[in-house]
Amino acid sequence: MEIDTIQWFPGHMVKARKMVQENLKLVDIVVELLDARIPLSSRNPDIDAILEKKPRIVVLNKADLADVSQTEQWSRWFHERRGLQCIALDSQHGNGIGKLIGLGQELAVQINNKLAAKGRKPRAVRMMMVGIPNVGKSSLINKLAGKGYTRTGDRPGLTRGKQWIRVGKGLELLDTPGILWPKFEDPEVGFRLAATGAIKDEIINIEQVAMKLVNYLNATEQDALKDRYKLGEVDADPYEILRAIGARRGCLVSGGNVDIFKAAVIVLNEFRGGKLGRFTLDRIERDA
């Protein structure tokens, strides 16, 4: 089962990339934010070319919604196969933020040691956060800017209007997330982005995505569907699974028929909220 191909307006991607590259000149470290449930699908495929050799920290956000074992394996994969520092984090509740700050400070020390070797004075090391839409960039920035952290305002010698957040000793974060639009040709990547909410529901076929999701769960985690929706025998047809879920949840219209759209919305929202369990759609044994 394939979902309709999702296309992005090229102008959006070009503008977003240009803005990221302009801000890249102002920072020393980049935080690449990914969705822990789809570590590969939520990466911009051109990220390495865009960031060039800028020091980088990979953050697997929404780790509280992902399979723990898979998150650990992906963390090792980024470190061993890509040579990148990688941590798991839950920006919604703030879990793991201390690790991010600590890792940033470690890199800051290394950067200032290099400056000192050149006879230059130590300074605040600056970071920028990048990632595709809806992976939690603004949420994480807000957590970092919360209690205990302060926005420093314009910095001398930097572009006017840029706001910086002091997030630890000798470390500052640009108070603007760098948005990189996803670019994909594989319909499976499109499905994973849509299922996890990385793509706005207004531009996807909700029923189509939900049917593909229940088809996937039926094949891999059938008990999760049975337990959550109090189902008996589960039909092989994803449409019939959605119909059964809608009937159990009272999604009925005139004549006693099931409103499949409402059932689809319920399944997607509960999957995204972790109510069906913790799932990772990019499986390391399959995708790495």
Co-location of 175 and 216 in the same domain: no
pLDDT of 287 reads 52
- Say how far apart CA 277 and CA 231 lie, in whole Å: 16
Could you report how far apart the first and last alpha carbons of the chain are, in Å? 23
Does residue 79 fall inside a structural domain?
yes
Q: For 243-269, how does the pLDDT look when each residue is reduced to its tens digit (9 = 90+)?
A: 999 999 999 988 889 999 999 999 999
Structural domain containing residue 253:
205-287
Report the sign of the C-alpha dihedral through residues 69, 136, 102, 116, in that order.
positive
148 shares a domain with 104:
yes
* 190 part of a folded domain: no
The yes-or-no verdict on residue 89 having pLDDT over 90 is yes
- In the three-class reduction of DSSP (H, G, I as helix; E, B as strand; rest coil), residue 74 is classed as helix
Is residue 63 assigned to a domain?
Answer: yes
CATH code for the domain of 221: 1.10.1580.10
Structure token pair of residue 172:
């500052």
Residue 34 clears pLDDT 90, i.e. is over it = yes
Assigned domain for 154 exists: yes
Looking at the fold, whether 220 and 168 belong to one and the same domain comes out as no
195 lies in a domain?
Answer: no
Q: Crossing angle of helices 260-272/206-220, nearest 10°?
A: 60
Q: What is the pTM of this model?
A: 0.89
Categorize the per-residue pLDDT at 67 as very low, low, confident or very high, splitting at 50, 70 and 90. Answer: very high
Are 172 and 209 found together in one domain? no
Domain count, the chain: 2
Tokens of residue 165, six digits: 């957040």
